[in-house]
């Protein structure tokens, strides 16, 4: 297994959310050259947030990529010079108005290493309580939905929740040692 060597990089598009580059690369072992296209964007965070009474905080919003209303876990982009944990705290409060007593990292994964440069940082937010109104970005219109474990499972099973990253976040939670544990089980803040 050899790595591709980048011979030339051409920036094709730059937006406030992402940039697109064309990489002309060679694979010497096979004597081939090929163009690849890579999206560069900030890292993201995604939060499985659970209220003090054990309900999952989900959000609903219109997504233009699929032109559908989606059910998701709170999420967002990490601002420049911001830690992933700080971004998780900020996005949870902005999108939902809830504040967590404890934020626990679950996993860091590559978003799509074939064509994207960024990572997704998954967090668990426990003992969440209302802390004020939503502080939405200008282009956000988000409804908050609280679901117990059975409702969450039913909405996954019936396809109402079909956002792949939200499903991955919930799966990471249920695969973690924290799933179903009382608050005393969690590590100290």
Considering Cα of 81, then 84, then 85, then 89, what sign does the dihedral take?
positive
pLDDT at 1: 73
Residue 159 CB coordination number (10 Å): 7
Q: Are 156 and 168 in contact (CB under 8 A)?
A: no
The burial class, CB within 10 Å (0-12 / 13-18 / 19+), for 13 is exposed
Question: What pLDDT, on the 0 to 100 scale, is given for residue 137?
Answer: 85
**Phi then psi for 91, rounded to 5 degrees?**
-65, -40
The runs of H, that is alpha helices, within the chain are 84-96, 149-157, 164-175
Q: CA-to-CA distance for 133 and 94, rounded, in angstroms?
A: 8
pLDDT of residue 123: 98
139: nearest Cα among 76, 80, 87: 76
Structure tokens at 112: 């799509």
Catalytic residue chosen out of the listed positions 95, 138, 140, 151: 138
DSSP H helices, 44-163, are 84-96, 149-157
Task: Give the 3-state secondary structure percentages of the chain, helix then strand then coil, rounded to 5.
Answer: 20, 45, 35
Q: What residues of the chain score a pLDDT lower than 70?
A: 182-189
Determine the pLDDT at residue 182. 63
Q: Are 100 and 123 in contact (CB under 8 A)?
A: no
Total-model pTM: 0.92
Burial status of residue 182 (CB atoms within 10 A of its CB: 0-12, 13-18, 19 or more): exposed
Helix axes 164-175, 149-157, angle to 10 degrees: 130
Residue 138 a catalytic site member: yes
């Amino acid at each position: 297994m050899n790595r591709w060597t980048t011979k030339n990089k051409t920036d094709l598009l730059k937006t406030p959310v992402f940039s697109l580059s064309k990489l002309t690369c060679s694979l010497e072992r096979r004597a081939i050259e090929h163009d690849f296209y890579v999206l560069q964007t900030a890292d993201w965070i995604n939060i499985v947030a659970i209220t003090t009474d054990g309900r999952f905080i989900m959000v609903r919003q219109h997504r233009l990529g699929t032109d559908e209303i989606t059910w998701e876990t709170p999420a967002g982009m990490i601002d420049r010079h911001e830690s992933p944990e700080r971004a998780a705290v900020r996005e949870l409060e902005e999108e939902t108005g809830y504040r967590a007593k404890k934020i626990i990292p679950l996993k860091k994964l590559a978003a799509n290493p074939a064509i994207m440069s960024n990572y997704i940082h998954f967090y668990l937010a426990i003992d969440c309580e209302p802390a004020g109104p939503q502080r939405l970005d200008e282009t956000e219109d988000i409804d908050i939905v609280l679901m117990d474990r059975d409702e969450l499972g039913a909405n996954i099973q019936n396809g109402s929740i079909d956002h792949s990253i939200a499903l991955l976040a919930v799966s990471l939670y249920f695969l973690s040692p924290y799933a179903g544990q009382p608050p005393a089980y969690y590590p100290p803040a």
